[in-house]
Amino acid sequence: MGRTPASCPASSANRFACVLSKREWQVARLVAQGKRNHEIADEMILSVLTVETHLKHIYAKLNLRSRTELVAWILENHVL
């Protein structure tokens, strides 16, 4: 599991990698590549519900509300 935000570096990009779990990072990367939930589930060998749960956790940890905001955040912070 990811570390708490307080223990992470100050830059947004570093916080992103620090706060999210490895699986959440994988889901976020695939979202940024334009994949849909069912495509992510197939690629990661997960259920769609698990992908949706990972996305909810990502949104909460990064204070985002949507897939669009996630992709915008990734692009703005040069995370990929």
pLDDT digits (tens, 9 = 90+) for 25-49: 999 999 999 999 999 999 999 999 9
Give the C-alpha distances (Å, rounded to integers) separating 14 from 21, 33, 36, 40, 41: 13, 20, 25, 24, 26
Query: What's the pLDDT band for 18 if we cut at 50, 70, 90?
Result: confident
Residue 4 is encoded by which pair of tokens? 């708490």
Say which residues have a Cβ less than 8 Å from residue 72's Cβ, sequence separation at least 6: none
**Do the beta carbons of residue 37 and residue 54 sit within 8 Å?**
no
For 14, what's the count of Cα atoms within 13 Å in the CB-facing half-sphere?
Answer: 6
CATH architecture of 7-76: Orthogonal Bundle (1.10)
Predicted pLDDT of residue 80: 73
pTM for this model (two decimals): 0.79
Q: How far apart are the first and last CA of the chain?
A: 20
Domain positions in the chain are 7-76
